[in-house]
Amino acid sequence: MKTPVLNIDQFKPAELADEVYVNRFSDHLLKNKNLISKPHSHDFYLCVFFTRGNGIHEIDFNTYDINPGSVFFIKPGQTHFWKFDEKPQGYIFFHSKAFYEMYSLVHQLEIFPFYYPYHNVSQIHIDFKNEVQALFENVLDEYVNTRILRELKLLNGINAIYIQLTRMFTSTIDLTKYSKSGYFKILEQLEQAINTYFEKEKLPRFYADLLHITPRHLNRVVHETLDKTTTQLIADRVILEARRLIVHSERSLSEIAECLGFSDYAYFSRYFKSNTGLSPLAFQKRYEHISKHS
């Protein structure tokens, strides 16, 4: 069965603010267990802060531990699921890109490292729990109470959370390589282009031409910021989609290969194994426990 793509209207009461949702995580889990207990993706941005509980959180086949102080960020299209060993508590909010841009006249979501193109961070762990918890409480209070200019106040509160978490995160990592003139914009445009054309176009020159730069300059931007090549970025996106389809769809491996632009299954199998260390069939068997419950 295809991985479900959830939207905000499936979670929020109709009378509350459009294109944004805020809740205590325990209440969110109780009310929406049937929606979120299996692998799924969203068409919105999501942030979760855990104050209690333990378990694992798998995001696009990367597994993270859930502990008090864990904060997670999910971008639209990412596939994830939770598995808890201890009842979790904390806060969750999500919003659409349209909501953010409607009320934020200056900033874009991509200024925050959690939503950077390619090098986005899915999890951070914080020690200053009380300070951050107060910010989440303020956003929750604004969400559940109908007051004038609520949407604007909600965005201000969400920005306060993003800014505080960015400061905590950037205190331990150097992000200056992203600030080079034009580099960030090129990465953003490249991510959008690869997401659009990766099934048919797998050569760097196509994307360089699309961005009106030389393949050499594009490769330099990618290498200096991500320590990868453009070819590797394209392959990463192809392999991610292959993994998603192998685990979460009912298509045969040959059909998946064809869907991703490979007319020869044997070549697809070699391509997949060279990038993952496993054949498509071996990968499928490894994740059978997930696909059976998708």
Q: Does 163 share its domain with 190?
A: no
Q: Which of 170, 193, 224 is the last residue of a domain?
A: 170
What pTM value is reported for the model?
0.78
Q: Which of 219, 223, 261 is nearest to 239 (CA)?
A: 261
- Which domain does 185 fall in, by range? 178-291
Q: Residues 126-138: pLDDT tens digits?
A: 886 678 999 999 9
| pLDDT value for 226 | 85
Q: Which of 247, 294, 229, 286 is nearest to 60 (CA)?
A: 247
- How many domains does the structure of the chain reveal? 2
**Which of 31-40, 45-54, 208-217, 279-288 has the lowest average pLDDT?**
31-40
Q: Does 29 share its domain with 139?
A: yes
Q: Does 149 share its domain with 253?
A: no
Q: Residues 44-78: pLDDT tens digits?
A: 999 999 999 999 999 998 899 999 999 999 999 89
Q: Does 64 share its domain with 184?
A: no
Q: Does 50 share its domain with 193?
A: no
| pLDDT value for 262 | 97
Please determine, for residue 179, whether its predicted confidence score (pLDDT) is greater than 60.
no
Of residues 248 and 270, more confidence is placed in 270
Q: Does 130 share its domain with 273?
A: no
Q: Which of 138, 170, 202 is the last residue of a domain?
A: 170
Q: Does 192 share its domain with 93?
A: no
CATH number at residue 95: 2.60.120.280
Q: Does 154 share its domain with 35?
A: yes
Q: Does 136 share its domain with 71?
A: yes
Please determine, for residue 292, whether its predicted confidence score (pLDDT) is greater than 70.
no
Task: Supply the mean pLDDT for the chain.
Answer: 87
| pLDDT value for 22 | 95
| pLDDT value for 178 | 56
- Sequence-distant (≥ 6) Cβ neighbours of residue 18 within 8 angstroms: 99, 151
Q: Does 130 share its domain with 191?
A: no
Q: Which of 149, 170, 191 is the last residue of a domain?
A: 170
Q: Residues 80-136: pLDDT tens digits?
A: 989 999 999 999 999 998 888 887 766 678 888 888 877 678 899 988 667 899 999
Strand, coil or helix: 51: strand
